[in-house]
Structure 1
Amino acid sequence: MKINKKYALANNEGSSHIASRNFIIAHSTATPNGEAWAVAHNMKSTINSAETYVQFIVDDKSIYQVGEPGYDAWGAGSPANSMSPVQIELCEFDDKKRAIKAYQNYIELIRQMADKYGITKELDTSSKKGVKTHNWVVKNGYSNTNHVDPYQYLPKIGISKSQFAHYVKYGFSKTSKPKEKKKEVKKSVTVDVHPVVKWDVARVFVVTNKKGCNLYSDESLTKPIRTLANSSTWKVITENNGALKLGKDQFVDGRAGFTKSNPIAFNSKLGGRVKIIKKGTHALYEPKANSKKAYSLEYGKIYRFKGRNGRFLFLENSYKGKQVCVTGNNAYIIL
């Protein structure tokens, strides 16, 4: 199928970092009946505010490109974004015929891109390489998000995890049919009441509706454009007429979740807890970018801090009698 590049990012948009060839990341949009062109258009038009995009969006009729294949996209969180040369969104449909056709196109594109970048077509295995769902990179510590796609959607169109894995590996061969596993008990998503945010983010909104919540293009909350997933966390810019503004022409109804403020953004003397969100992070002797490294900080581990200087957070425990710090780009505040 021909790839439509109408909404592809310009050279000065998105990431310029070449991704390592570990993963092909499979998503679904969580936007009921949203077609590929509409999702791509939204990613393109909000690139400087929402800062969210993938390389390809697939529906039953078309494939739209947004990000440049081979480079980081901003769709799966850190460090997964830098480990995947291609991320692909599956459009979700209520109509079963459209849904299955979109799914078939999705599988074919996943397999095509896996071959192109020399990535194995094994789905969600324990290996550090292969085709991975957004759900897998979250559960295995490769993402600072908490999404579960596409597994919140595929069962609705009759696709189990084992079927998905089979078709990713073998395609739609008539001579090979997937072996079904026992039906899995669907687990509810637990919303974390302590979201993790960057040091300078003043306020966040966390979705608590089980079915997610609508994102609107107007503060009157009358023009929905897509659905935000349950338990996802979003930066709040301001509040207008009771609507929370998340970006340019992006609003939510605050009743669909809760907001939490980050006092660290305003008061540099306050302390708290931080989580290391990037592998290869080190404690530093001085609060500056070219500081000497003191020691390695464990990825995913939580540390206490006692104030900050700009983006640099002073760790509570000293090292060899000296105060050390960590950059707030690699360690996020736990609210």
Structure 2
Amino acid sequence: MKLKKLTIAFIAAISLIDTFSFNNEETQAASINTEAKKYKYSGVTYLYKMLKLEGIKYNKFPGVEYQNGKPEGIVVHETDDPGATATAHDEAIYFNREWQNIQAYVHAFVDSKQVIQMRSPDVGTWGAGQQANNRFIQVELCEEDSRDAFIKSINNDAIYIAKLLHRYDLQPDNACDDGQGTIWSHHAVSNFLGGTDHVDPDGYFEKWGYSMDQFYSLIKYYYDLQKKNTQSQSNLKDKDKYPNKTKEEIPVVQGAVTLGHDAYIYDAKGNNTKKLKYAGSPVVVMGYKMINGKKYYQIGKDQYVVASNIDATPKTVNKDTYLRTRTGEIEKQNKVKKGSRVLVYGSKITIKGQKYYALNATQYVLASDVN
């Protein structure tokens, strides 16, 4: 009897351990999504622009025609290339140079710092085999070596994918369990469509106690959040909403952009309301208006920002220089050579008595070093 009781107690203990382990994994994954929502979206960098600034030839991928004329969903990949060299920047450079040799290409690379769009999602790429390439957009998540960087990267990835769903009028639907839907892992393509044997991003997600189901939940969260901001734009064509943008530069959700510079909010008469939106903040452009000879973008009811806080201006670096942080600290790893082109936003700002131009929400260049 005593032995039986001990045996039952032992089994119960094992059961509790298993339950605790399962619940702990669920809690960890849930907390990752909770933490992710605290971070700002990095915005999109367009490959051809990035390469132009770096003096590298843009080796344009010709594209694959979608079987139904437009994408039917999105495949979530991960690079399976761990380490410090596997940044979105370096992956983009490599694929731009080698795609003809390796016979592979994707629409975007995403890491904790940026999203680099390689090619307009209006055409397909070579990312997941013949059964998927002419149906789906392909997005590669770069491997990170810290939990914080991983969380930032999936946040960027989820927001970008949610924007793509809106752009192509696709409803979020997880295809990973039944092979039906708009959000696919590469593993799901292998399981349900064939033509490939890859199983990403499942193994990489498991490393962080995460899963495709959790990632789908994050995508759905951002899709629903963005939905309110896109309804008023649904009846406008891209060329009407973005008369000064090339096809590659049209934001991946109609009207949604990121401020490149701190911006005051003005009313329709050009009066400063003294309300401020910070660089890196997402806004929805509803149109534009000329006020006293200056262009403003409308971002809400009787709310406008100066267009230069959203539209970048190219400038040429007149001497070797370093990028600076918001506090004026030199970023020694980010040296910009004389003759390079940079894209700046808004008017000059003063940091510790010196004038700077903003390149994005966190990086600046001395105004005297560009013209």
Q: TM-score, normalised by structure 2?
A: 0.43
Relative to total residues, which structure has the larger strand share, 1 or 2?
A: 1
The structure with the largest alpha-carbon Rg is 2
Relative to total residues, which structure has the larger helix share, 1 or 2?
A: 2
Q: TM-score, normalised by structure 1?
A: 0.47
